[in-house]
C-alpha cells in the first residue's frame, strides 16, 4: 500500500499559493522524498521539470542553469524540481542568481531536495537567506508503517522505517544486505565522502559501525577511539559523529547540566535515528533473546522521536544516577524516563528533580512510548489525548 506523506500535501499547498519562495525539502535517503514528488507531479495541473543531481559524477552550475532555462520555457507557473541539489558545486550561488532574476515576475516555482543537511543548510545560510522555506521529512514513524505494512511495535523496533526494505523482512539476511548496500553505503560513500574530504575513510566507516553498537548509551569519545583499529584523535571522531548527524543517521546527544560549556564538552549518548541501521549491523534476533538489548533499542527509538520535535533534547547523568532524556519544552525542562520492562535503576528521576526543582518528571511506559512512536508529540502524550 502506497501512502502519501504529510510533506507532499504541505508542498502542494505552498506551490499553489501566490507567495514566491524556494521550497527546500530535506530529509534522509529512502524515506519517500522522490515518491512524494512523483505523487505531486501526477496530480499537479501545470508543467513540472524534474531532474536529479544524484550521480557518480555530479553536474556543474552550467547544468543547473540549463535545466532552469528549460523549466522557464515551459511557461508561467512551471515547477522546477532538483533532487540532491547539494551535490552541484556552487549550487547556492547559482540558484540565488537565477531565482533573483525571475523572482519579481515569479517566472518559476522552485523545489530543491536534499539528503545531507550539513552541506545543504550551509548553502542555504550562505546565499539564500530570506528566499526559501524548509520542509523537513523524517524517518517513517510506527503509524505510517502500520498503515502501509501492518506492522506492530516490535516489528517496527526491529526493522525501522525504511519503506523500500519492508517487503524483505521475512528474509532477514536479505533485508540486512539491502539496508547495508542500498541505504548505508550510498550515504557513507556517495553523500558524505563525496562532499567532504575524509583523510581516513577506514576510520570513518569504523566509527559509524561502532557507534551503532551502542544505541541509547553514553559513550566516552576516548573509549570509542580506543576500540577503533585505525589511529585517530577525539576531534576526528567527534567530527565524524557530526557528519553522521548531518546525514540523518545518528544523533550524538549531549549531557544536560544547565551549562552550555558542559553540554558541549560531555560524552555523547548515541541515538541511531532509525533502528534499521542498528539491525543491519547487529543481529536482530537479540530483540527476542535479550531484554536489555530490546530496552536499549526501544529507548533509542523514543529518543529519535523526541529529536524530531522542535525542542532541545539532552540526557543527564551524575554518578550512578541518570535520566534518559531531558527535553526543554514550553520554557520548562522535562525529565523523561523510558520504561521498557528491562531492569535498570530508577533513582535518577528523583535525583534530577532534587537538583532541578522546577523540572517536570515524565514516565514513558510501553503504551505511552508507542503513542510517541506513532507520531504523537510529547505534549499530546502527557495530556493523555490524541493529537
Which tens digit of pLDDT belongs to each residue from 17-59?
A: 888 899 999 999 889 998 999 999 998 998 999 999 887 576 8
Same-domain check for residues 146 and 127: no
The answer for residues whose C-beta is within 8 angstroms of residue 156's C-beta and 6 or more apart is 142, 145, 146, 275, 301, 373
Residue 387 pLDDT class (50, 70, 90 cuts):
very low
CA distance 365 to 243: 32
CATH of the domain at 80: 3.40.50.300
Q: What is the pLDDT of residues 118-148, one digit of tens each?
A: 556 666 767 788 899 999 999 999 999 999 9
Mean pLDDT of 294-317: 95
pLDDT on residue 117: 62
Q: Based on the structure, what is the number of domains in the chain?
A: 2
CA distance 286 to 173: 14
Average pLDDT, the chain: 88
Asked, for residue 319, whether it belongs to a domain, the answer is yes
Q: What is the pLDDT of residues 241-292, one digit of tens each?
A: 988 998 899 999 999 987 654 555 568 999 999 999 999 999 999 999 999 9
Mean pLDDT of 3-30: 91
Q: Are 47 and 78 in contact (CB under 8 A)?
A: yes
Q: Which domain holds residue 68?
A: 6-136
Same-domain check for residues 146 and 109: no
Same-domain check for residues 304 and 379: yes
Same-domain check for residues 157 and 114: no
pLDDT on residue 158: 97
Asked, for residue 305, whether it belongs to a domain, the answer is yes
Amino acid at each position: 500500500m502506497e501512502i502519501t506523506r504529510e510533506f507532499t500535501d504541505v508542498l502542494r499547498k505552498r506551490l499553489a499559493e501566490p507567495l514566491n519562495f524556494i521550497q527546500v525539502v530535506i530529509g534522509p535517503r529512502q524515506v519517500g522524498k522522490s515518491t512524494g514528488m512523483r505523487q505531486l507531479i501526477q496530480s499537479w495541473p501545470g508543467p513540472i521539470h524534474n531532474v536529479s543531481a544524484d550521480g557518480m559524477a555530479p553536474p556543474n552550475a552550467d547544468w543547473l542553469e540549463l535545466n532552469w532555462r528549460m523549466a522557464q520555457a515551459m511557461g508561467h507557473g512551471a515547477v522546477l524540481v532538483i533532487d540532491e541539489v547539494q551535490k552541484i558545486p556552487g549550487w547556492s550561488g547559482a540558484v540565488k542568481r537565477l531565482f533573483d532574476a525571475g523572482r519579481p515576475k515569479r517566472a518559476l516555482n522552485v523545489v530543491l531536495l536534499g539528503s545531507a543537511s550539513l552541506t545543504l543548510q550551509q548553502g542555504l545560510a550562505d546565499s539564500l537567506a530570506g528566499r526559501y522555506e524548509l520542509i523537513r521529512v523524517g524517518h517513517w514513524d510506527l503509524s505510517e508503517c502500520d498503515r502501509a505494512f501492518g506492522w506492530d511495535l516490535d516489528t517496527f523496533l526491529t526493522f525501522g522505517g525504511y519503506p523500500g526494505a519492508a517487503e524483505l523482512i521475512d528474509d532477514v539476511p536479505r533485508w540486512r544486505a539491502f539496508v547495508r548496500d542500498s541505504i548505508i553505503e550510498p550515504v557513507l560513500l556517495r553523500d558524505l565522502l563525496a562532499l567532504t574530504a575524509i583523510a581516513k575513510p577506514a576510520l570513518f566507516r569504523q566509527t559509524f559501525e561502532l557507534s551503532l553498537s551502542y544505541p541509547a548509551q553514553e559513550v566516552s569519545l576516548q573509549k570509542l577511539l580506543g576500540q577503533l583499529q585505525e589511529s585517530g584523535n577525539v576531534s576526528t571522531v567527534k567530527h565524524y559523529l557530526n557528519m553522521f548527524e548531518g546525514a540523518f543517521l545518528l544523533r550524538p546527544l549531549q549531557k544536560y547540566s544547565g551549562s552550555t560549556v558542559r553540554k558541549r564538552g560531555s560524552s555523547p549518548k548515541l541515538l541511531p535515528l532509525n533502528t534499521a541501521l542498528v539491525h543491519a549491523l547487529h543481529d536482530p534476533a537479540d530483540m527476542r533473546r535479550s531484554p536489555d538489548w530490546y530496552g536499549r533499542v526501544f529507548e533509542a527509538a523514543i529518543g529519535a522521536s523526541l529529536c524530531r520535535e522542535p525542542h532541545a533534547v539532552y540526557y543527564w547523568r551524575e554518578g550512578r544516577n541518570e535520566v534518559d532524556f531531558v527535553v526543554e519544552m514550553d520554557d520548562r525542562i522535562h525529565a523523561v524516563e523510558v520504561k521498557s520492562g528491562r531492569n535498570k535503576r530508577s533513582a535518577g528521576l528523583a535525583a534530577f528533580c532534587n537538583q532541578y526543582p522546577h523540572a517536570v518528571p515524565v514516565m514513558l511506559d510501553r503504551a505511552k512510548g508507542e503513542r510517541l512512536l506513532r507520531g504523537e508529540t510529547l505534549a499530546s502524550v502527557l495530556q493523555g489525548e490524541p493529537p
